[in-house]
Chains A and B, each alone.
Chain A
Amino acid sequence: MKKIGLVTNSNSLSWIVESYSAAGIDVRAAVALDGVWPDSVGCAQAESVTALKTEYGVDIVHLVASPQDQSDLALELFAVGCDVVLTLPTVCQPTQVKRLLEAAAANQADLYWFAPQRFDPAYRSAKEKLESGALGPAAVVRLEHTQSSNFSNVRTLPAAASVAEALVCDLDYLHWCFGPIQRIFVRGTADLDPSHPKQILAVARMAQGPIVHIQAGFTSDAGEDRWALEISCRDGMIVHDSSSSQGLFVQGPAAERPLAGPFSWLLHQNAIGRFGRDLLSGLAPTGEELLQLSYLVEGALVSLRSKQLTVFDQEVSG
């Protein structure tokens, strides 16, 4: 079985290791990018990213870093023959993704990426329900993804990068469920005032027919992410809202809210566990898929900047 390593900051390290562990997957070793090693992390501490390979024999490294750092770290890992998993906020400019794919190929390594909605049990379940045909064909899809306005990336990332980050999950989920995206029209507050929390409103059309509304942004003041979907089909409708699906509410200070906080803890834990199993089975979303997604994100940004419709070549979107 391939061995997994982790590169991230100390504040994410413990829970990602625990998430893999909960799925029965050991993280062999990890690197804390900020140099702070939290107490009681269930894996060994590597001194450097290359040491993950040379000292611990890690085959695949799950990389959780800012988009600015991801490319350099991934190239370093490819150079020692490690496969790499990118995590949001991820590199998603086509030129960057192509460069990573080329580097991976040159070193007989593979590039993967963690597409969160594909592993979120609610979103997976919605896809399965659609595919069962019980509700008939989908007509209108609404995806909503609101992150906390306190999320550090909001203020530090350039507008285009944060918009890309906001849209990448939703575009991936759409493509995963419904196939090619035919066209997209994107507007939002990022083109009005880049200093404000970003809110993106997009209307898209799938090649198979469904009309899509995407709301993605960083305006939640509730201190937690909110993910919601609504899919109207000919014979029924699927609705999910993460803010009402946590199943456990504890009154008191934020620190005592086990299912709240910056991440919907158990959902993410569950998603990472599922992802880990797919990763070890060679079924995780690939770098080629990320490249395809990067073209969609690029098209969305063109629409945002031009205030015009972007129509995708079938070859790109398909």
Chain B
Amino acid sequence: MKRIGLISMAHMHAYSYAQALGTLSDRVVLSGIFDSDDERGRKAAEQFSVPYQSNLGTLLACSDAVIICSENVYHKEYTLAAAAAGCDVLCEKPIATNEADALTMIEACEKAGVRLQIAFPVRFSAPVCRAKQLIADGKIGDVLCIKGTNHGQMPGGWFVDPALSGGGAVMDHTVHVVDLIRWFLGKEIISMYAEVDNMLYGEQIDDCGMLTMELEDGVVATQDPSWSRPRTFPTWGDVLLEIVGTKGTLRVDAFAQGLAVFDDTNKQVVQHGWGEDMDQLLIEDFVTMLENDQNPSITGYDGLQAMRAALAAYESARQAKAVSVAR
């Protein structure tokens, strides 16, 4: 049975990943939790009834793999430590906050012979998976253009501290849709034009943006990564794609599988999801990879390319013109 440690509960996904690991107790064991925030880590360890490890080395020593859910800026530090200890890694997105860190992470894992997977759970959404299949089967012909959104609410906390997150809405949400586009089409993004600004929350970080991308085969895509969902919005946000092909158009809503709940107590309409849990499927995929000694389904390179697109968006906005995206 594989032992998986959890490094940091800074990212909210850490909690759903821990829960998912709990449902796989016949296949894996959550070996413990380490967190640079001692109090947060201890509380989480208590919540999930697992050991809290105040020393990272101790956690790595009793783990075959780790899931890193720290603030973005620490992804490199923890990945390098895990690689040095021989642990496979599932790293929360974005892979890092700059290209040098991401390349160092990928190289370190390769040298150490450990696997690096990036957490892009939307790949496991049922509508998204079906859309990929339909595109691959040629049901909409050749893809001509894509309109995507990954809206959200402003998450607050360290997400709005550039020193810890590396960027705001554009860094947080660009990577998901870019990853889906690359995954659907098997093509790289070669140029980026973006408008990026801070107009919604008054934080010292970007909270809205609009991206226009061109892929290497000429396909054009736009994406809205804004934290523009109001507090009264029924859900945290969305991942929507409209994919226009020569034979038809696909509209994908990754989170449409939910009930509308009219809650008088909290004076809000909320969406209560009933679809499959993407985080659960992501964790199952990671565990299966470990069990079968496979390659990761979502590689460090995938993470790198998605992050490069986000960085290119910031650069485009800074220069006020379209810029090339590194490959």
Contact = CB atoms under 8 A, between A and B. Distances in A.
A136 to B, nearest CB: 9
A192 interface: yes
Nearest to A185: B193
Nearest to B233: A237
A221 interface: yes
Interface stretch (A4-12, A108-116, A196-204): A196-204
B244 A142 contact: no
Interface of B: 144-145, 147, 193-195, 197, 199-201, 207-212, 214, 218, 220-222, 224, 226, 228-230, 232-233, 242, 244, 246, 248-249, 320-322
Contacts of B208: 139-140, 211, 232
Nearest to A203: B210
Q: Which of B199, B201, B242 has the most CB of A within 10 A?
A: B199
A191 to B, nearest CB: 8
Contacts of A137: 199
A229 to B, nearest CB: 13
A95 interface: no
Given A203-B195, A203-B212, A205-B195, A309 B224 contact: no
B193 A139 contact: no
A211 B227 CA distance: 13
A28 interface: no
Given A188-B145, A196-B246, A199-B144, A140 B322 contact: no
A287 to B, nearest CB: 31
Contacts, number: 103
B322 A188 contact: no
A199 B250 CA distance: 14
B244 A219 contact: yes
Contact of B212 (A185, A193, A217): A185
Nearest to A139: B199
B205 to A, nearest CB: 14
A193 B224 CA distance: 25
Contacts of B194: 203
Interface residues of A, number: 33
B226 A201 contact: no
B114 to A, nearest CB: 40
6 contacts: A189-B145, A192-B145, A221-B249, A232-B208, A237-B229, A309-B322
B219 to A, nearest CB: 8
Contacts of A234: 199-201
A189 B228 contact: no
Given A203-B195, A234-B200, A308-B321, A140 B212 contact: no
Contacts of B242: 215
A183 B195 CA distance: 10
Give the residue among A189, A193, A212 with the most B Cβ atoms within 10 A. Answer: A189
Sorted from nearest, which 4 A-B pairs have the closest CB atoms? A232-B228, A139-B199, A187-B220, A189-B144
A79 to B, nearest CB: 44
Contacts of B320: 183, 309
Contact of A201 (B212, B229, B248): B212
Contact of A187 (B195, B209, B214, B226): B214
Contact of B197 (A187, A193, A209): A209
Interface in A224-260: 232, 234-237
A138 to B, nearest CB: 8
A213 B224 contact: yes
Most B CB contacts (10 A, CB to CB) among A137, A185, A212 go to: A185
Which of A139, A140, A210, A236 is packed against the most chain B CB atoms within 10 Å? Answer: A140
